Structure 1
Amino acid sequence: MSMRRFAMALHGGAGARRNRDYSREVPHMLELAERARNRLAGGASALDVAVETAMALEDSGLYVAGRGASPNLAGDYELDASLMDGSSQAAGAVAALKGVRNPILAARRVMEATPHVMLAGEGAEAFCREQDLAGIEDPDAWFTRAGQGEDNHPPGTLAHGTVGCVVLDLNGRMASATSTAGVFGKMPGRVGDTPIPAAGTWADSHAAVSGTGQGEYFIRTAACAQTSWRVAAGATVAQAAQAVIDEIGRLGGDGGLIAVDRQGRIAMPYNSQGMKRAWATSDGHIGSAVFDEGPTQL
C-alpha cells in the first residue's frame, strides 16, 4: 500500500512586478499554507481546504480578488469565481457578481444547492441573497483596490490579478478553487477564464489546476483542463503545466498556473515577471515566494 500524502499550492496572482514591495503578501501566503497544511494533516477534505484558502485570500484585501478588487470601466465591482471537486468533477461558478463578499463561497453554493454549474449577473446576486451570503453595503469603503499600480501593461492591454488554491488530501481527493476581479479597467460584463471550468479552474482524478493571467488566452487554450489532460497522457505535472504556459506565451499572453497531481507533485510555472505563490506538502516542504527566489515545482 502506498503511503498517504497531501499537498497544496496557492497563488495570489501572476501580475507581480519587481519594483513593488510584497512584504505583506509573502508572510500572509505562508500563513495560509501553514493553516492548510495543518487542516490536511488532520484529515480535512481537499474541497474544504481549497475553498477556505480562497476565502482567506479574498478576505485579506491584498490580492485582486474579493476585497482587493478594482472596479471596471463603469466603476462597478464585478467578481468571478469557480471551484471543482476532482473526485466527482462537480463544479460551481459565478460570473459578473456584484455585492457579495466571498464569490468562491457563492460558487460552492451553486455547485451544492442548484443543478447548474454557473450563475451570472443579477441572477447570481439574487441566488446569493436567497442563500444569505454576506453582502457589501458600501463598496467604496469595503474594496481595497489591491492591484492598482501593480501591473504596468500598456493602456488597452489585459493587466490582471487572481487568487487560487489546488489541493490533494490524504484520501487522494483533489480540488481547485479560483477567484478574481478580472483584468484592470475591464469592460462592464467582461468575463474571463476564472469562472469557466477547463479554462481557469480544473480538477479530476489526474490533477487539480488553477490559473492566473490574461484570461482570454487561458480560455482559448482551455489551459487548466489541458494541463490535466497532458498529465493523463503521460506527462509529468511540471511538464504539462509548462507546456501550457509556453502555448499561452506563443499566442502573446502571460500568466501562470499552479497544479498538483495525485502523487502530490506540484508545479507553479509562469511567464510573467513574478507570481505570488505558496506551497505545503506532507513531506515537509513549505514556503512562499513571488519571484525566482522560490521553486516552480516540487
Structure 2
Amino acid sequence: MKATEPMLGQVCPAHSLHVPAMILRHHIGPLKGTDRGLLVRVGEGTRKISCELRKKGIETDIFASPSLREWLQFPADTAVDTETLSQAVETVLDGLAVFQDGLLLLRRDYQDVSSWSTAPMIMGIGASYYEIDHFALVVADRLEHADYLWRLAEADARLVEGPGVWPDDFCEHLNASGSYLSMVFGTAKLPNGGTVVLLAPNAQGDQLDRWRRSRQQGALHHVALSVTDIEVAAAEFNAEGWKPMSKQPVSDGALTQWFLKNSADQIIELIHRSDQKSTATFSCANITELRSAELRQVPAKSDQ
C-alpha cells in the first residue's frame, strides 16, 4: 500500500461527533476512520473544497493516488475548534448555488455582485461535490449588463471574454443560426478563481428575454462543473436523472464540454480543460456543434 493511502480503522474520536453529523446533513456517503484522521469521500471537488477550508483556517489532506482523489482527510493530530470547523464546513459545502422549487438559484448570501469574489465555487449534486468552473447569470438588458461588469471590475474581477454580442462579435460563421438566439455576452474571472458569464437579451422578446422573464431573481442560466473524466461524470449524472442535450461531448482539443438537462429544465455543463490556465468558457468549434444540437430542438420560427 502506498504511503499516501491511509490504513482504515475506527472513526477518529476527535471528529466522531461533529463531522459525521455534517457529512450526513450534506448526503455524503462513504465515511471512514483511519489512523491519521477522518476520511470522507466528497467527489470531484476535493481539491477546491480543501482550498476553501484552508482559507477559513481548517487544514485537510488530499491525496495524489487516483483511487483517493475524491477523498478528503481531516487529520487526527490537528487541534480542532468544533464550532469553527462546523461553520467552515457548512459554508463551503452549501456552496454557491442551490436547487429550490425546480429552479437553479444563487444562494441568498451570494445574489449581489460584491459577494461573488468570496463565494465558495462548490456545488453538490446528489452525494458528490464539484468545483464550479463558471456560472452564467442573465440580467435584464445592455445597461444592466454594463453596470454588472463595472461593479465586477470594482471587486477586482478581470474581464476575459467580451463584452459584445454573441455570436456576431465572437463567431461570425454562427450568425446564420438565427438572431433570436443571439445575446449580449461578457465573462469575468473572479479573485477567488471562479468565473462568471454575464448574459443579457439582445432584443426585447428574444429567446433569452423570454427565459429571464419566466424565472425569478437569482435564477442561473447554467452552472459548469469541472470534471476529470467527462464521460464517466455524465454517466453518473444520467443515473441521477440528467439527460445529455447532445449525443456526445464536444471538444476542440483543449476544451471538452457536455450540457445536460433534468426534468425541471435545469442545465448543468460538464467541462474538462486540457490547459488548466485557460479561461475560455466556449470555443467557436465547440459551440458550432452544441448550437446545431440546440437548433434541432428549437420550435419553428413561426413560434419564436
TM-score relative to the length of structure 2: 0.28
Which is strand-richer, 1 or 2? Answer: 2
Q: Which has the higher contact order (CA 8 A, sep 6+)?
A: 1
Larger radius of gyration: 2
